[in-house]
Amino acid sequence: MRALVTGACGFIGSHACDFLLSRGYEVFAGVYAERGTKNIDHVTDKLEVIEWDITKEDDVNNVVARSKPHLVVHMAAQSYVLPSWDDPARTFDTNVNGSYHLLEAIRRLGVDTTTVMACSSAEYGFSNEEELPVSELKEFRPSSPYGISKIGTDMVSYLFWKAYGMNIIRARLFNITGPRKVGDAVSDFVKGVVDVEEGRTSKLRVGNLGARRDITDVRDCLEALWTLKEKATPGEAYNICSNKSHLMEDIVNAIKAKAKKEIVVEVDPARIRRTDEPIFLGSNEKLRKLGWQPQRSLDETLDGVLAYWRSPS
């Protein structure tokens, strides 16, 4: 069986490569050349790396034709909120047009595949207290250009399923963290603590510690994606989340308690988002009905991220 992982050098994409190799798949790793291959260097002898730019239709056609995948795990994206404010056009091009190119190539080439599309909780955006935990039926109220772009990914996926009967599953990922993650609060907190431990900086700089977030370990996320591939109804959307809300300040305190030095915390205005949901909590009831549930505690997750950032490069 052949699998194509897009965004294979990213955080979840690289873990997806490991996961699928362990299940005996022949893996094709779609890699954006400018990103480099650091996250999959340990398995480049076990898979085929293909450089491409998902915003270029010819590149996408060539990769799909070359891999002829039975399974596609689509993780390629501009996946950060703050940069989406600086360059929304690039975010839309990568996330919306790139997803369109991928699904159109699969359709046109007649590849018989299951495609799991990485959508996002950012689509839901602002929520009222009575709407929590957020289900897949909640109205979209995006709070960033990134959120808008992932609605585009989601709706393109729905359209190709509806119009062409393609086997497409929409996975709405909440906050996923673990080793190799950069640019999210948990990983940045941990890296900041390790930087203080190793003398690269004197303080841990943070953003809004009053927010609450639903956080899932990447290992649980990969098992959720596998469950969707095996059991999900094509065309449907499924939240991948822990169904638990964590206060950012509590997470910082938990990491500080594991630190080798005393940690001084400082709020950095540059880390404050222009718009931010005070609490984000997802419902995973729909996914649980397929037999999945998260297995890792937040403490286990923090230990894994700490071990990653403390290890030699």
Confirm if 288 and 232 have CB atoms less than 8 A apart.
Answer: no
Residue 28 near residue 66 (C-beta atoms within 8 A): yes
Q: How far apart are CA 306 and CA 229, in angstroms?
A: 31
Is 46 a residue whose pLDDT tops 70?
yes
Asked if 14 and 151 sit in the same domain, the reply is: yes
CATH number where 66 lies: 3.40.50.720
Question: Tokens 């289900």 label which residue?
Answer: 135
Is 287 a domain residue? no
Q: How confident is the model at residue 82 (pLDDT cuts 50, 70, 90)?
A: confident
**Residues 111 and 170 grouped into a single domain:** yes
Q: What is the CATH number of the domain that holds 258?
A: 3.90.25.10
Number of domains the chain is built from:
2
Q: How many CB atoms lie within 10 A of CB 140?
A: 15
Please state the rounded mean pLDDT for residues 57-72.
98
- How confident is the model over 177-206, as a mean pLDDT? 95
Residue 277, pLDDT above cutoff 90:
no
Q: Residue 178: pLDDT above 90?
A: yes
Mark whether 233 and 88 lie in a shared domain.
Answer: yes
pTM assigned to the model: 0.95
Q: Are 219 and 296 in contact (CB under 8 A)?
A: yes
**Does 229 lie in the same domain as 82?**
yes
Give yes or no for a contact between 195 and 201, defined as CB atoms under 8 angstroms apart: yes
Structural domain span for residue 200: 179-213+244-280+297-310
Mean pLDDT, residues 48-67 taken together: 97
Same-domain check for residues 166 and 131: yes
In a domain, 102, yes or no: yes
Say if residue 96 is in the same domain as residue 154: yes
Q: What single DSSP character describes residue 35?
A: G
Are 172 and 238 a contacting pair, CB within 8 Å?
A: yes
- Same domain flag for 236 and 122: yes
Q: How confident is the model at residue 34 (pLDDT cuts 50, 70, 90)?
A: confident
**pLDDT confidence of 279, banded at 50, 70, 90?**
confident
What pLDDT does residue 273 have?
67
Please list the alpha-helical segments (H only) found in the chain: 11-22, 57-67, 81-86, 88-92, 98-109, 145-164, 185-197, 218-231, 248-258, 285-288, 298-310
Q: How much is the pLDDT for 183?
A: 87
What's the pLDDT at 312? Answer: 75
Instruction: Tell how strand 246-247 and strand 212-213 pair up.
Output: antiparallel
- pLDDT over 70 (residue 275): no
The model's pLDDT over 98-116, given as tens digits with 9 standing for 90+, comes to 999 999 999 999 999 999 9
**Residue 253 pLDDT more than 70?**
yes
Residue 289 lies in a domain: no
**Cα 20 to Cα 71: distance, rounded to the nearest angstrom:** 10
Q: Among 55-69, 104-118, 277-291, which stretch is predicted with the lowest mean pLDDT?
A: 277-291
Residues 129 and 268 in one domain: no
Q: Per the domain annotation, does 288 fall within a domain?
A: no
Determine the pLDDT at residue 3: 98
Whether residue 147 is found in the same domain as residue 269: no
Kindly state whether residue 286 falls inside one of the protein's structural domains: no
- One domain, residues 120 and 193: no
**Cβ-based neighbours of 191, under 8 Å, separated by 6 or more:** 182, 309
pLDDT of residue 276: 64
More confident residue, 241 or 183: 241
Check pLDDT > 90 for residue 35. Answer: no
292 occurs within a structural domain: no
First and final CA of the chain: distance in angstroms? 33
pLDDT digits 0-9 by tens, 207-246: 889 999 999 999 999 999 999 999 999 999 999 999 999 9
Do residues 170 and 70 share a domain? yes
In this prediction, residues 64-90 reach a mean pLDDT of 96
- Average pLDDT, rounded, for the chain: 95
Same domain, 29 and 122: yes
User: 142-173, pLDDT tens digit by residue?
Assistant: 999 999 999 999 999 999 999 999 999 999 99
Measured distance CA(103)–CA(284) in Å, rounded: 26
Q: What is the C-alpha separation between 31 and 199, in angstroms, rounded?
A: 34
Does residue 147 form part of some domain?
yes
In a domain, 126, yes or no: yes
pLDDT value of position 102:
98
